[in-house]
Chains A and B, each alone.
Chain A
Amino acid sequence: MSAAPAPTVTAVPAAPGRPGRRGRRPARLGVSAATRRQQARLGVLLVAPAVALMLVFLVFPVLNAVYYVFVDFDGLDVTPPWVGLGNFTELAQDRQVWAAAWNNLIWIVLGTVGPLVLGLTLALLLWGVRRGSTLYRIVFFLPYVLPQVAVGVVWGWIYAPTRGWLNRGLEAVGLGGLARGWLGDPDTALYAVIATAVWTATGFVFVIILSALRNVDTEQVDAAMLDGAGYLQRLRYVVLPQIRPVFLMVTALTLIGGFAVFDLVFVMTGGGPANATEVLGTYAYSNAFQLSRISYGTTLALVVTALAVPVAVWLDRLQRRAALDGGGA
Chain B
Amino acid sequence: MRSSPKVLMVSACLLATACTGQTGSDDGGGGGGGDGANTLRYLIEQLEDADELTRLEEHLADFEESSGIDVQVQQLDVDTMRTVLQTQLRADDGPDVISWGSGPGSGGALAEAGLLYDLTDAYEENGWEVYDFAKERVTYDGRVYGIPGELETVGLYYNTQVLADVGIDPPRTLDELRAACRTISEAGLVPMAFGDQEGWPGSHLLSMALSSALGSDGMQALLAGEGSWESPEVVDALTFWQEANTNGWLGESPVSIDYDTMTALYISGEAAMIPTGSWFVNDLAIGADFESGYVPFPAPDGEGVFASGLGSGPFVSANTDNPEGAIELLDFLASEEHAQWVVENLQTIPARPVDTAGLDVDPLLAQVLEEVSALSEGGGGLGYNIDVLMPEAFNDVMFDGVQAVLTGQSTPAEVAAALQAASEQ
Contacts and interface: CB of A to CB of B under 8 A. Distances in A.
Interface string B242-277: 000000000111111110010000000000000000
B83 A161 contact: no
Contacts of B404: 273-274
A20 to B, nearest CB: 51
Contacts of A286: 396
Q: How large is the interface on B (under 10, 10 to 19, 20 to 34, 35 or more residues)?
A: 35 or more
A270 B198 contact: yes
Interface string B70-107: 00000000010011001000100000000000000100
Contacts, number: 87
A329 interface: no
A160 interface: yes
Given A270-B199, A273-B407, A291-B396, A185 B253 contact: yes
Contact of B396 (A75, A77, A269, A290): A290
A181 B409 contact: no
B403 A274 contact: yes
A184 B407 contact: yes
A186 B405 CA distance: 12
A233 interface: no
Interface string A265-281: 00001101111100000
Nearest to B408: A186
Q: How large is the interface on A (under 10, 10 to 19, 20 to 34, 35 or more residues)?
A: 20 to 34
A254 B404 CA distance: 31
Nearest to A290: B392
A285 B257 CA distance: 23
A76 B110 contact: yes
A291 to B, nearest CB: 5
Given A286-B396, A292-B392, A184 B410 contact: no
B256 A275 contact: no
Contacts of A159: 256
A168 interface: no
Given A270-B199, A272-B403, A273-B255, 20 more contacts: A75-B86, A76-B112, A156-B258, A159-B256, A161-B253, A161-B257, A181-B256, A182-B256, A184-B254, A184-B255, A185-B407, A186-B407, A270-B198, A273-B403, A273-B404, A274-B400, A274-B403, A274-B409, A276-B407, A289-B82
17 contacts: A75-B86, A156-B258, A159-B256, A160-B256, A160-B257, A162-B252, A181-B257, A183-B256, A184-B254, A186-B407, A269-B197, A270-B199, A273-B255, A274-B400, A274-B401, A274-B409, A289-B79
